[in-house]
Structure 1
Amino acid sequence: MELRHIRYFLAVAEERNVTRAAERLGIGQPPLSQQIHALEDELGVRLFRRTGHGVVLTEAGEAFAVDAKRLMNDARLAVEKAQSAGRGEIGQLNIGFTGSAAFNPVVSKLIRSYRQAYPNVTLTLTEGNTAQLLAHLDAGRVDVAFVRLGSQSPAGVQIHHIAIEPMKIVLPATHKLGKKRKVPLAALADDPFVLLPREASPTLHDVIIGACREAGFEPIAGQQAPQLSSVVNLVAAEFGVSLVPASVCQIQVDGVAYTDALGSAITIRLALASRIDATAAKTANFLDIARQVVTSSA
């Protein structure tokens, strides 16, 4: 039994006339009659009783019509669902993000815009450092990831620009320079720096080390932090000082002070990473929204 047999059956049942049903279906009357007879033979029951004005359903035909309508409706819904999934309008999108990315206004605007455009796609969020997120991306555990990267793209990864952020100095509130609006980075040469391990976030680590060297000193390595958000808490606990993306300043923790670095601008790039071989429409849609949001925010 094929879906077309059910469609033919329902057309005849609704029209109560084989000729009109054939016209509606766009086929000849003899082939339609043959298909109905073949269906009846397959089922082993008569579905229609012939009358002088056409046909009417038998008791077996009425029983079959109930489930036949449901089957056709299920088939229509299955087609619509497949087409929606093919357009990326349903399903699940897995997004990875570094601890600081969530604070960037472009990121929140992007996710908000995507949810408005594709409300039937479920979003799952995974936080991690850049190394963890790139591993998740490679393993297919996330579809896209907001990461801190330099100018080089890891193998198999496509990078999409999101924002260039200035870096801010974060000091313990008790630090002698904690009330200054701008601080020369060289003034922190004798302070230990709270850093993420380079293997966890090589770009952030290198930006901080490079800025210190540019200022004429080699930073003293202090306590390591597992996540960027932990840096602020460790600074508040007076483990040392650090540099963080400006968006992290939204983390208001007692015992810390944020200030600008005097001199050359220190910046870091926020990017959206996806697999080069990604083919899912939901991922493509997210990247399209990202391009639109970044352009409008420029």
Structure 2
Amino acid sequence: MKLDPRTITQFAVIAEERSFTKAAERLRVAQPWLSARLRKLEDQIGFPLFIRSTRNVTLTERGEAFLKAACNVYASVAAAEALAAQLRRRDERRLRLGTPPYSNQIAQRRNLIDRFASVYPAVSVELDVGWTPALIERVRSGDLDIAFVLGGVEDPDLEVNVLCRIGVEMMMSQSDPLATRSTLSPADLKGRSIAVFTRALHPSLFDELFAPLANSGAELIQVPEMSAAILAQVQGPRRLIAFQFSFSVATTDEPIVSRSFEMKQKVPFSLLRRRGISTPLNQSFWDLAL
């Protein structure tokens, strides 16, 4: 019996996501096609891998056992694909970097790129902007050489170098009673409406930052990006408060002020790359960061 490694890796993704729909989105395939692939695998191996219901997908006992081998296959295929992508670009004179929105305001990121450009003037540095989950997947696949990311990253396949830690601020009207304070706690924001980034952009960081606010009784309003309409609500009678990272571009509207937000620990801003796979340019950039 010969099994298709790609089908096995697709099974591993379904098992990780616990959802055919989410797995199909991650794999960028149609959900019916993915379901058909999984049924074909189950027919081939002779036992069911999942117990399916309308709400969730759970592994069978034999599915759990099979997953251990599938994860090894998935890791090997992902490593081979990433290595092939890196080797394909080994002689290229360009470095592809991922970076979060607005992070050009962070001195460590800006200075590192400027320094690399001065040392390697013939190399083209390409910046792709995105949120951490998407950047991690692109580093994994070899589509990006290195990425700057926000939030903690724990992945044995990735090498992480924390460059600094970023604070959080709350923007509000200068006439807001809370503007008299230098630092705000979650309890201070009880009953207030807080504009925050959309959870889908970075679920783990969203939960880390905003669970204390929700637990304290604040209303979280998810917005795709900060806009003039949001700033108008900050200054308006609604007294909306808007979240921003400390590195975000500050508003020039004098009626709006920013106050520090009390956190257990600041958000790490890190450099990451796939472990054990690099090109000379990749290594040079990493060495400069170190």
TM-score scaled by length of structure 1: 0.57
- Alignment CA distance shift 1:232-1:207 (3 Å): farther
Structure 1 residue 218, shift from structure 2 partner: 4.1
Which residue of the partner structure matches residue 231 of structure 2? 236
Paired residue secondary structure (2:233):
coil
Per-residue CA shift, 1:116-161, capped at 9, x if unaligned?
A: 11111101111111122223323333211111122523x6322211
Which residue of the partner structure matches residue 129 of structure 1? 131
Which residue of the partner structure matches residue 175 of structure 1? 176
Which residue of the partner structure matches residue 120 of structure 1? 122
Map 1:188-267 onto structure 2 (within 5 A). Answer: 188-212=189-213, 217-222=216-221, 224-226=222-224, 230-231=225-226, 233=228, 235-238=230-233, 240-248=240-248, 250-254=249-253, 256-261=256-261, 266-267=265-266
User: Which one has a bigger Cα radius of gyration?
Assistant: 1
Structure 1 residue 225, shift from structure 2 partner: 2.9
Give the percent of matched residue pairs that are identical in Structure 1 and Structure 2: 17
Paired residue secondary structure (1:110):
helix
Work out whether residues 112 and 288 of structure 2, in 8 Å CA contact, stay in contact via their aligned partners in 1.
yes
Q: Distance in 2 between matches of 1:141 and 1:172?
A: 42
Q: Distance in 1 between matches of 2:186 and 2:228?
A: 21
Per-residue CA shift, 1:189-239, capped at 9, x if unaligned?
A: 1122222233311343123224436xx6143121x233xxx2375641327
Per-residue CA shift, 1:12-40, capped at 9, x if unaligned?
A: xxxxxxxxxxxxxxxxxxxxxxxxxxxxx
- Alignment CA distance shift 1:203-1:122 (3 Å): same
- Alignment CA distance shift 1:236-1:204 (3 Å): farther
Paired residue secondary structure (2:167):
strand
Paired residue secondary structure (1:145):
strand
**Over 6 Å off, 4+ runs:** none
- Alignment CA distance shift 1:277-1:242 (3 Å): farther
Map 1:60-99 onto structure 2 (within 5 A). Answer: 91-99=93-101
Which residue of the partner structure matches residue 285 of structure 2? 286
Structure 2 unaligned residues grouped into runs of 5+ = 1-88, 235-239
TM-score scaled by length of structure 2: 0.59
Superposition RMSD in Å = 2.7
Structure 1 residue 251, shift from structure 2 partner: 2.6
